[in-house]
Chain A
């Protein structure tokens, strides 16, 4: 009877079902701890006095908890760290909006419209996925230099409005292909132009993939260090990632505590996004078609 009662629970078959399940959980928790250790260490580092950081006692639990690192980090630099957060937020949001909107337009064209050379352009677009960032870096910099956009946010935001991210376009094309063509046809019979079909039929049905694209776009833009590094020199315009780097001085005297403290803070938005949108993320990646 005990066997039957536990039959449908994973890991709970055979003799000693609780032992087996307990062992499995313990193993998984140990593995998770190993993965989380660096972040936990960083968290501890942000809460302990500076002297304790690299000594022999560098265990996980701080002897004293102090928030001094947070205060120093926030107000310590020439520019208030909060300013960096706002900058990052502005760039990430603007870039994400442009990315998602432009990519969805292009994906709609590839998935639903017929035009001369469509296959060729699609292959070319996918080809750009194979271009390493480093190859386009210098020509792009020269271009923006000539346009006078260096030391502004424009190179980080404007290109996104031109659907430069082939990854998201491809993701959306695959999703759009899963939407039945008969909906387009019914809309055509109802008198819709291609633009109206895009706006009223395809877009509303594509929320999972749009959310996925938005989340990834936001995270990647937020975490982007290299782009801001080469295009922004004015400290007032720094993003969070550049701001973090300021703590690690080339002269060797680094403010590790402050670095850890601000790094923990910079993880908060990302963590919150994953927390609230994980279901949408999984749905967006896994869906190849509509649930009917």
Chain B
């Protein structure tokens, strides 16, 4: 079942403090949409407004075409998984799963059937008689998800559900949630501050900052064509390198003391101050085929096994991070030439918007 969600100029104010500033959003039915952004950007608030746990100060929330601003949380056809799971500590796993159904007045046998099915799906059947405190973090997480599934909602909401898990478990649960989406096909909205989670799980990503949408798109769209400096720096790890540049005639920029040809890309008026962005993985150390960036001195080498991270300083001054595949035989103190393909380069105007050529 796929339900559409639309936000039209949605605003949220706490007194005089505006936290969400007029957001327009169309959530694709059946898609796995991720709200991502730094702390305080309003992603959790937005999610809670959709859930019905926060009031909407202005604008309209449409679910399945109907205006839901004043509809109670439990009547919106939404189930939510909380960051801290919010399992009822005094109830067994079975009761936790059954509670919402009991409140809604379902019959005993129907409740039993649904609970057992959800438990099967999430492999928590052996734990049905236990209390939450007797479960591990990952098991509790699954019970929290199970509690959402039993209610057979139209929409699933996840509020940073993996933040409380250790790294290994997080990777495991990420895969499970993605598989769950494949199997159920419902519209799912997932909030996280971790851009790796966003990139790996999302069909569509919504990047938020200070209560505004910075960009929406598929993960690769955001990676390849960020609309502004913020998105460019937020998506991708390690972070994109930013350098001061100046537009020159003939489709080139003055960069780090040298001239960098951009093969006809849009640079705007000559003399304009720009920001030049290049991802660490798009810089080639040593003798490469792209445009030269200059000589750089290596001051830190990190070996990850499958790749090598170099922290370098260009002769002209700026620091860069470079990620090269494989295991590079480079030591700290060495000087290397760097180059990059102009197609992988990004330019941003003083407002932070991307220049597209």
The answer to whether B74 touches A190 (Cβ under 8 A) is yes
- The contact of A190 among B83, B84, B90, B103, by CB within 8 Å, is B103
A182-B82, A196-B103, A292-B133 given; A188·B88 CB < 8 A: no
The answer to whether A204 touches B90 (Cβ under 8 A) is yes
A189-B51, A190-B99, A205-B89 given; A180·B84 CB < 8 A: yes
The answer to whether B78 touches A189 (Cβ under 8 A) is yes
The answer to whether B100 touches A190 (Cβ under 8 A) is yes
Q: Per-residue 0/1 for B71-109: is the Cβ within 8 Å of any A Cβ (1 yes, 0 no)?
A: 001110011101110111110000000011001100000
The answer to whether A191 touches B103 (Cβ under 8 A) is yes
Give the one of A185, A191, A200 with max B CB within 10 A. Answer: A191
Chain B's closest residue to A204 (CB) is B90
Residue B53 at the A interface, CB < 8 A?
Answer: yes
The answer to whether B84 touches A189 (Cβ under 8 A) is no
The answer to whether B90 touches A186 (Cβ under 8 A) is no
Q: Per-residue 0/1 for A178-198: is the Cβ within 8 Å of any B Cβ (1 yes, 0 no)?
A: 001011011111111000100
Residue A201 at the B interface, CB < 8 A?
Answer: yes
CA distance A189 to B100 in the complex (A): 8
The answer to whether A182 touches B103 (Cβ under 8 A) is no
- The contact of A182 among B52, B86, B147, by CB within 8 Å, is B86
A199 shortest CB reach to chain B, Å: 11
B contacts with A: majority SS: mixed
**Residues of B with C-beta under 8 A to A196:** 103
CA distance A187 to B73 in the complex (A): 10
B95 shortest CB reach to chain A, Å: 10
**Residues of B with C-beta under 8 A to A200:** 99
CA distance A155 to B287 in the complex (A): 96
A175 shortest CB reach to chain B, Å: 14
- The contact of A189 among B79, B88, B89, by CB within 8 Å, is B79
**Residues of B with C-beta under 8 A to A190:** 74, 99-100, 103, 147, 151
> Chain B: how many interface residues by the 8 Å CB criterion?
24
The answer to whether A182 touches B84 (Cβ under 8 A) is yes
CA distance A47 to B103 in the complex (A): 60
The answer to whether A191 touches B74 (Cβ under 8 A) is yes
The answer to whether A185 touches B86 (Cβ under 8 A) is yes
Q: How many contacts A-B (CB < 8 Å)?
A: 55
**Residues of B with C-beta under 8 A to A31:** none
A196-B103, A292-B133 given; A188·B86 CB < 8 A: no
Residue A273 at the B interface, CB < 8 A?
Answer: no
Residue A65 at the B interface, CB < 8 A?
Answer: no
- The contact of B82 among A185, A192, A290, A292, by CB within 8 Å, is A185
CA distance A141 to B193 in the complex (A): 63
Give the one of A186, A189, A190, A292 with max B CB within 10 A. Answer: A189
A189-B51, A190-B103 given; A183·B86 CB < 8 A: yes
- The contact of A180 among B52, B78, B86, by CB within 8 Å, is B86
**Residues of A with C-beta under 8 A to B83:** 182
Q: Per-residue 0/1 for B132-170: is the Cβ within 8 Å of any A Cβ (1 yes, 0 no)?
A: 010000000000000100010000000000000000000
**Residues of B with C-beta under 8 A to A290:** 89
- The contact of B86 among A186, A191, A204, by CB within 8 Å, is A186
Chain B's closest residue to A206 (CB) is B90
CA distance A222 to B100 in the complex (A): 42
**Residues of A with C-beta under 8 A to B74:** 188-192
CA distance A204 to B52 in the complex (A): 26
CA distance A182 to B83 in the complex (A): 9
Q: Per-residue 0/1 for A44-84: is the Cβ within 8 Å of any B Cβ (1 yes, 0 no)?
A: 00000000000000000000000000000000000000000
A182-B84, A186-B82, A189-B78 given; A292·B100 CB < 8 A: no
- The contact of B104 among A180, A187, A191, A205, by CB within 8 Å, is A191
The answer to whether B53 touches A185 (Cβ under 8 A) is yes
CA distance A205 to B90 in the complex (A): 7
The answer to whether A189 touches B80 (Cβ under 8 A) is yes
CA distance A180 to B133 in the complex (A): 15
A185-B82, A189-B78, A196-B103 given; A292·B73 CB < 8 A: no
Chain B's closest residue to A183 (CB) is B86
Chain B's closest residue to A200 (CB) is B99
The answer to whether B73 touches A188 (Cβ under 8 A) is yes
CA distance A183 to B147 in the complex (A): 13
The answer to whether B51 touches A183 (Cβ under 8 A) is no
CA distance A201 to B102 in the complex (A): 14
A83 shortest CB reach to chain B, Å: 41
The answer to whether A183 touches B73 (Cβ under 8 A) is no
Chain B's closest residue to A179 (CB) is B89
B145 shortest CB reach to chain A, Å: 13
**Residues of B with C-beta under 8 A to A185:** 53, 80, 82, 86
Q: Within A193-232, which residues are at the interface with B (CB < 8 Å)?
A: 196, 200-201, 204-205
**Residues of B with C-beta under 8 A to A186:** 80, 82, 86-88, 147
CA distance A173 to B251 in the complex (A): 68
Q: Per-residue 0/1 for B318-354: is the Cβ within 8 Å of any A Cβ (1 yes, 0 no)?
A: 0000000000000000000000000000000000000
Chain B's closest residue to A185 (CB) is B53
Give the one of A185, A192, A196 with max B CB within 10 A. Answer: A185
B58 shortest CB reach to chain A, Å: 20
Chain A's closest residue to B53 (CB) is A185
State the 5 A-B residue pairs at the shortest beta-carbon distance, nearest first: A190-B100, A191-B74, A186-B86, A182-B86, A191-B103
8 sample A-B contacts, Cβ–Cβ < 8 Å, listed by A number: A180-B86, A182-B86, A186-B86, A190-B99, A191-B103, A191-B104, A204-B90, A205-B89
Beyond A191-B103, A192-B74, 16 additional contacts (C-beta under 8 Å) are: A185-B80, A186-B87, A188-B52, A188-B53, A189-B51, A189-B52, A189-B53, A189-B74, A189-B78, A189-B80, A190-B147, A191-B74, A196-B103, A204-B90, A205-B90, A290-B89
Q: Which residues of B contact A (CB under 8 A)?
A: 51-53, 73-75, 78-80, 82-84, 86-90, 99-100, 103-104, 133, 147, 151
